[in-house]
Amino acid sequence: MVVVYFVAIFAGFFAPYRYDRDDRSRFFHCPMSLRFANGGLAVQVYEGSSDFSHYKEVPGKTVPLHFFVQGQSYKLLGCIPLTTHFFGTGDDSAPAYLLGADEMGRDVLSRLLYGSQLSLSIGLVGIILRFGFGMIAGGFAGYLGGWTDTIIMRSCELIMSIPALYLIMALRSTFPPGMSSTKVYLLIVVILSLVGWAGSARVIRGISLSLRERQYVLAARTLGLSPWRIVVRHVLPGSFSYLIVAATLSIPNFILGEVVLSFLGVGVQEPSASWGIMLKAAQNPVSLAEYPWLLAPGVAIFITVLAFNFLGDGLRDALDVKT
Amino acid sequence: MPLLEIKNLKMEFTANGRSLRAVDDVSLTIEPGETLCLVGESGCGKSVTALSIARLVPSPPAQYVGGEILLNGKDVLKMSKTELRGIRGGTVSYVFQDPGASLNPVFRIGNQIKESLKLHRPEKATDEEVIRLLKLVGIPAPESRIKDYPHQMSGGMQQRVMIAMALASEPKLLVADEPTTALDVTIQAQILELLIELKKRLGMSILLITHNLGIVGDLADRVAVMYSGQVVEMAPSHDLLRRPLHPYTKALMNSVPRLKGGLERLSAIPGNVPTMGNYPAGCRFAPRCPSARPDCTTNAQKLVEVEPNRWVRCQYHAVL
C-alpha cells in the first residue's frame, strides 16, 4: 500500500506519458511485451492492420527501453515542472504501452497511474471530512447529552434514511455542465462524506457516552475546562483507536464509491483519468472480449481495496485489546 | 469572613419523576487556612456535598432545592457558567480517590499540569513552572518526569501529580476526596504528610473527605460527621476524638480497631444505612442507635450548638 500511494503521488514521474496524450495510430493497442535485447530491456515493436484492430509482433524488431528519459513535461506534486520520466523509449514514434492503449490510443498504464492520484486521494479527503463531522457531532452529542444529543442523533437518523446513491445522482444533475473535473471531484467527496458521517457519529457518541463517566473527565471539569476543550482534548482522544481502524476500513468504500459514480457516468468526466472512468470503457462485453487489458484498473482497485482491508484488520488486532 | 460557608444546603436527585434527597440541610464553614474533615459512611452525601462547592454535580439529575454555598461571600448556586469555570480549578481545586483514573492516559503528565496552568495562570504555563510544582509535591528528578505518561508512574506518584495539578492554580481551597483510599499504607502516610506540609507552606484551606478516623486526628482542625445526608456532629477534631457526643460518632469510633486491648470481635453498628429517599421519620440514626428512646423515632432532630463550637444533632446527647 505504501508502494501504491508512493507511485500515486509521483504519478507524473512514473507514468511514461501524460494521461491525455492520444495516439491516433494506435487505438486499442495490445500490451507490448518486454524483451531483452542488446544487453538491456526493450519493447517489442508491433505492426498494425489498417483498421487498427489487430496488432502483430514484428519478429526481431525491438525498441530499447531507457530509464530516466526525457519526455512530455509534467508538474511533480503539482508544482515542480519536470520532463524526466522513470522509463520510456525516448522516441515518440515508437512508444511503449506496457498495458496497452485504450479507444483513444492513450497509454493505459499512464492513465492508471494518474487515475490512482484521484481515486486514492478521494478516500483520504473523504475520511477526513466524514470522521471530522462524525467526531464533532458524536463527541458533543455524547458528552452533553440531553437536548443536544436528541437533536444531533435524530438528524443523523434522518440522513441515514436517505438513499445515498440517488441523492448523489440527483445532486450531480444540478451541477453546471461546464464544471471543471477537480470541482466535480471535490463536490462528490463532500457529498459522499455528508451522507456518511451519521454512521460514525453514532459510534463516537457511544464511546463519548462511556468516556464522559471517566474520572479524568471529572478531573478536567474540576479544573474549569470548557466543554469544547474537554470533548476535544479528553473525550475524543479516547476514541482514536476505534477511529483509526474504522477510517482505514472505510477508505475502500470511498474508492469504490468514486468508481461506481464514474462508472455510471455521474462522476469525474473525460479526459481526466480515474479508475472508475477507465473501467467504464470496459463496460461493453464485446470490447472486453477483444481488449481484456482495459480491465487493468479493476485489478488495481482489487489490490488497493484488499490492501486497505488487510491494513485495517491488522490495525484492529494491534489496537483493540477486546477482540 | 469564612472562605466557604454552606448554609442549609438541600440537594435532590430527580429520576423518573421521583426525587431523592442526597443532601439535607447541611451547613459547614471553612476558615482561611483551616482543615475540615468530612467523615461518614459510603453514600452519606460527603462527596456530593464536596462536589457541590464548584457545582460539579451534573444537573439534571441534581437539583438544588434550598440553601446557599457562599464562596468568598458569593453564592455558587447563582453563578453563571463562565463564573463557575473560573472557580473550578481557580479558587477551588479537587483531588480524587483514584489517581490512575483521574489522569488522562493519553497525555504526558507535564502537558496535563500545563493545561491547568494555561487556564488559570497563562503567563506561567512553562516547563519551569511545571517542574517547580512537581518539586513542590516531592517528585524526584521532575525534569525527566514531565515527559512520562501516567501509566509509567506508581499510584503514589500519580497522586502527587494530581496534587500538583490541583496546586497549579494556587487555589484557596483544596478539596481532597478520599485522596489516599486507593493507595497502600506507607504511601498514604507520605501523601498525608505532603498535604500537611503544603498547607503550612501555602496557607490554603483543605476540605478532606475520608472514612478513616486515623487521618482525622493527624490532619484536621475540625471535623464534621455526616449520616444520611445530614451533619450529625461538628466539633474541633481534638474534642471530637476525645469525647464524641453523638451516638453515631461514638459507634463509629468503637468500630475502629485499636492497638491496645484483646482480640475480641470489632463492634459493628447494627443494621444498614437507610437508602436515599427512605429516611426514617424521626432521628435518622434512631433505628440503629444503641441508646434510642421511644420518642427518637418521631422527633426530627436539629443541629444545635451545645457547647461553644460543638454542634450535635441529638436531643439526648447530654444524658447518654
**Mean per-residue pLDDT for A145-151?**
84
pLDDT for the residue numbered A76: 62
Secondary structure class of B19 (helix, strand, coil): strand
Distance of alpha carbon A151 from alpha carbon B72, whole angstroms: 39
Query: How large is the angle between the packed helices A296-319 and A240-263, nearest 10 degrees?
Result: 170
Q: Which of B52, B87, B102, B167 to mutate to test the interface with A (most CBs of A within 10 A)?
A: B102
Judged by CB atoms closer than 8 Å, whether chains meet at B96 and A223 is answered as no
DSSP state letters, A17-69: S-TT---TT-TTPPPPPEEEETTEEEEEEEEE-TTSS-EEEEEEEEEE-EEEE
Instruction: Please say whether the beta carbons of A253 and A165 come within 8 A.
Output: no
Judged by CB atoms closer than 8 Å, whether chains meet at B119 and A225 is answered as yes
Q: How far is A215 from chain B (nearest CA, A)?
A: 5
**Mean per-residue pLDDT for A152-160?**
87
| Nearest by CB: A237 against B93, B106, B162 | B106
Q: Percentage of residues in chain A with pLDDT exceeding 70?
A: 61
Cell numbers for A43:
519493447
- Pinpoint the residues of chain A covered by CATH 1.10.3720.10: 113-319
Lowest-pLDDT choice from A5-14, A47-56, B199-208: A47-56
**Mean per-residue pLDDT for B278-307?**
82
pLDDT for the residue numbered A103: 64
**Dihedral of CA A173/A179/A185/A188: which sign?**
negative
- The string of pLDDT tens digits covering residues B161-200 is 988 888 888 888 889 888 888 788 888 888 888 888 888 8
From chain A, which residues contact B within 8 Å (Cβ)? Answer: 146, 214-216, 218-226, 233-234, 237-238, 240
Q: How far is B68 from chain A (nearest CA, A)?
A: 20
pLDDT for the residue numbered A131: 86
The residue with cell 446527647 is B317
* B270 DSSP 8-state letter: -
What type of residue sits at position A277?
A: I
What type of residue sits at position B94?
A: Y
Q: How far is B67 from chain A (nearest CA, A)?
A: 22
Distance of alpha carbon A192 from alpha carbon A167, whole angstroms: 10
Distance of alpha carbon A3 from alpha carbon A8, whole angstroms: 8
Lowest-pLDDT choice from A226-230, A267-271, B29-33: A267-271
Q: How far is A223 from chain B (nearest CA, A)?
A: 4
Phi and psi at residue A47, to the nearest 5°? -115, 130
Residues of B in contact with A144 (CB under 8 A): none
Distance of alpha carbon B302 from alpha carbon B291, whole angstroms: 18
pLDDT > 80? residue A154: yes
CB pairs under 8 A between A and B: 61
pLDDT for the residue numbered A200: 84
Nearest Cα residue in chain B from A229: B115
pLDDT for the residue numbered A10: 67
Instruction: Please say whether the beta carbons of B238 and B305 come within 8 A.
Output: no
Range ranked top by mean pLDDT from A114-123, B141-150, B210-219, B290-299: B141-150
**Whether the predicted model's global pTM rises above the 0.80 cut:** no
**Mean per-residue pLDDT for A186-205?**
81
Q: Percentage of residues in chain A with pLDDT exceeding 90?
A: 0
H/E element, B152:
none
Q: Which is more confidently placed, A100 or B211? A: B211
Cell numbers for B275:
437508602
| Nearest by CB: A221 against B56, B106, B107 | B56
Residues of A in contact with B56 (CB under 8 A): 218, 221-222
Q: How far is A227 from chain B (nearest CA, A)?
A: 10
Instruction: Please say whether the beta carbons of B231 and B311 come within 8 A.
Output: yes
- The string of pLDDT tens digits covering residues B243-288 is 888 888 888 888 777 777 666 677 777 777 777 777 888 888 888 8
| CATH numbers and ranges of domains, chain B | 4-256+268-274 (3.40.50.300)
Q: Percentage of residues in chain B with pLDDT exceeding 70?
A: 98
For the domain made up of A113-319, give the CATH fold.
MetI-like fold (1.10.3720)
Give bridge partners of residue B12 from the DSSP assignment. B21, B63
pLDDT > 80? residue A319: no
pLDDT > 70? residue A42: no
| Nearest by CB: A221 against B88, B98, B104 | B88
Nearest of B207, B205, B106, B2 to residue A216 by alpha carbon:
B106
| Nearest by CB: A215 against B54, B60, B96 | B96
For residue A77, name the pLDDT band (cuts at 50, 70, 90). Answer: low
Nearest of A303, A254, A261, A268 to residue A111 by alpha carbon:
A268
Judged by CB atoms closer than 8 Å, whether chains meet at B119 and A216 is answered as no
Alpha carbons within 13 angstroms on the beta-carbon side of residue B118 total 11
**Dihedral of CA B164/B168/B169/B170: which sign?**
positive
Q: How far is A136 from chain B (nearest CA, A)?
A: 19
- The string of pLDDT tens digits covering residues B8-65 is 888 888 877 788 888 888 888 888 888 899 988 887 888 888 888 888 887 777 888 8
**Mean per-residue pLDDT for A273-296?**
72
Instruction: Please say whether the beta carbons of B139 and B145 come within 8 A.
Output: yes
Judged by CB atoms closer than 8 Å, whether chains meet at B102 and A216 is answered as yes
Phi and psi at residue B7, to the nearest 5°? -115, 115
Q: Percentage of residues in chain B with pLDDT exceeding 90?
A: 1
From chain B, which residues contact A within 8 Å (Cβ)? Answer: 54, 56, 60, 84-90, 92-94, 96, 98, 101-107, 115-116, 119-120, 162, 165, 169
pLDDT for the residue numbered B8: 87
Q: Please provide the average confidence, as pLDDT, over all residues in chain A.
A: 74
pLDDT for the residue numbered A118: 75
**Mean per-residue pLDDT for B118-134?**
84
For residue B317, name the pLDDT band (cuts at 50, 70, 90). Answer: confident
CB contact burial A205-236 (16+ within 10 A = b; e otherwise):
bebbbebbebbbbbbbbbbbbeeeebbbbbbb
Neighbours of A179 (CB within 10 A): 12
Secondary structure class of B42 (helix, strand, coil): coil
| Nearest by CB: A234 against B94, B96, B104 | B104
Contacts 24+ apart (CB under 8 A), B176-179: B176/B94, B176/B95, B176/B206, B176/B207, B176/B208, B176/B209, B177/B46, B177/B47, B177/B50, B177/B51, B177/B94, B177/B95, B177/B96, B177/B97, B177/B209, B178/B96, B178/B97, B178/B209, B178/B210, B178/B211, B179/B95, B179/B96, B179/B97, B179/B208
Q: How far is A139 from chain B (nearest CA, A)?
A: 17
